[in-house]
């Protein structure tokens, strides 16, 4: 593969110009007290209420070896997006390079689950997976994402059967993904096992929907607790800590 010369650096990046080999396309890195999030661009879902700027192709291609230089050895790493599994070979290569760097880093993949299959999970042994189940009802899922959820539901079963460290999450979106749908998801998960489940509070994008009220999230958590023992929400366990800072923009 041909090297890419990086001619521009982010305002707050204190690193020299580097030669980077083609790999995953990354838009930015954000660091918090315990985690560094690598934001990967591109996604195969077309979620109507998506707040991510990484849906399309943006950022630059960078290797896992280069990424590791930006990440302190004591930080766990989350590959998020966008959708990090779009190119599995590049993702696996990046993970391999990150694993080979000094320091025992926990690596997490945040994914919509549509591309997780048995073969890929065999390659991801030892990796923590956060899988976002948009909706349980197939028609609702297809309307919201443009894609079927059959593979996503299958991936959750595989993660449980293969004893992965994983968590399922769903974004509560008023008038679209509400407590009844959350209950259906929790019931589905309970039929597989006592799976960790997190309910996320929707961040408004345009006029698609409003921000959920606190009582709505609490009601959804209580409903999910009827089926599962380990249910949390983004209100008490933030996925994006307030002290998170962007350390590199590509």
- Residue with the two structure tokens 């409003």: 210
Which structure tokens are listed for 62?
Answer: 């960078």
Look at 90 and 196; give whichever has higher pLDDT: 196
Predicted model pTM:
0.84
Say if residue 143's pLDDT is above 50. yes
CB-count exposure of residue 72 (10 Å: 0-12, 13-18, 19+): exposed
Binned at pLDDT 50, 70 and 90, residue 59 comes out as: confident
97-126: average pLDDT? 91
Q: Please, what are the domains in the chain?
A: 3-249 (3.20.20.70)
pLDDT at 55: 57
Binned at pLDDT 50, 70 and 90, residue 105 comes out as: confident
Look at 73 and 220; give whichever has higher pLDDT: 220
In the predicted model, what is the mean pLDDT of the chain? 84
């Amino acid at each position: 593969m041909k090297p890419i010369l990086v001619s521009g650096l982010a305002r707050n990046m204190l690193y020299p110009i580097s030669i980077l080999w083609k790999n995953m396309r990354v838009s930015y890195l954000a660091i918090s007290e315990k985690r560094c999030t690598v934001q990967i661009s591109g996604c195969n879902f077309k979620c109507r209420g998506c707040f991510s700027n990484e849906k399309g192709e943006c950022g630059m291609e960078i290797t896992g070896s280069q990424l590791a230089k930006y990440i302190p050895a004591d930080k766990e790493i989350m590959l998020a997006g966008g959708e990090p599994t779009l190119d599995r070979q590049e993702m696996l290569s990046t993970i391999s390079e990150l694993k080979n760097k000094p320091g025992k880093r926990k690596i997490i993949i945040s994914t919509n689950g549509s591309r997780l299959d048995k073969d890929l999970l065999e390659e991801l042994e030892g990796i923590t997976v956060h899988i976002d189940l948009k909706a349980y009802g197939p028609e609702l899922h297809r309307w919201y994402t443009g894609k079927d959820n059959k593979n996503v539901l299958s991936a959750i079963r595989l993660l449980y059967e293969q004893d992965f460290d994983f968590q399922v999450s769903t974004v509560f979106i008023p008038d679209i993904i509400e407590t009844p749908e959350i209950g259906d998801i929790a019931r589905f998960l309970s039929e597989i096992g006592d799976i960790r489940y997190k309910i996320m509070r929707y961040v408004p994008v345009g006029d698609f929907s409003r921000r959920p009220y606190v009582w709505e999230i609490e009601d959804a958590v209580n409903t999910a607790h009827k089926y599962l023992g380990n249910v949390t929400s983004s209100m008490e366990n933030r996925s994006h800590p307030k002290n998170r800072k962007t350390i590199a923009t590509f």
